[in-house]
């Protein structure tokens, strides 16, 4: 299964993907690139920016993708 296929299956199942969990859950480091490729193929993937704390306790914004 390709990285795009893993991401697509994950999102189609109703789960939420972020760059933070894409590596641990799907083994994909460059998830933004794979999302961009899927969009170029015509898939509608929604992006919501969320605020999370990094390991230093600082607030940072990350993309959260859903279908």
End-to-end CA distance of the chain: 20
Give me the pLDDT at residue 22, please: 96
Task: Confirm if 67 and 12 have CB atoms less than 8 A apart.
Answer: yes
Q: Nearest CA to 26 among 47, 50, 4, 56?
A: 4
Per residue in 2-53, pLDDT (tens digit) is: 999 999 999 999 999 999 899 999 999 999 999 999 999 999 999 999 999 9
Task: Confirm if 26 and 3 have CB atoms less than 8 A apart.
Answer: yes
Give me the pLDDT at residue 28, please: 97
The confidence band for 67, taking pLDDT boundaries of 50, 70 and 90, is: very high
Give me the pLDDT at residue 36, please: 98
Structure tokens that stand for 32 in this block: 């933004």
**Residue 21 CB partners (closer than 8 Å, separation 6+):** none
């Amino acid at each position: 299964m390709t990285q795009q296929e893993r991401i697509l299956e994950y999102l189609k199942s109703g789960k939420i993907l972020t760059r933070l969990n894409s590596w641990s859950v799907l083994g994909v480091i460059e998830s933004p690139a794979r999302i961009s490729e899927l969009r170029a193929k015509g898939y509608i993937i929604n992006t919501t920016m969320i605020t999370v704390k990094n390991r230093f306790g600082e607030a940072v914004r990350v993309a959260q993708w859903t279908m």
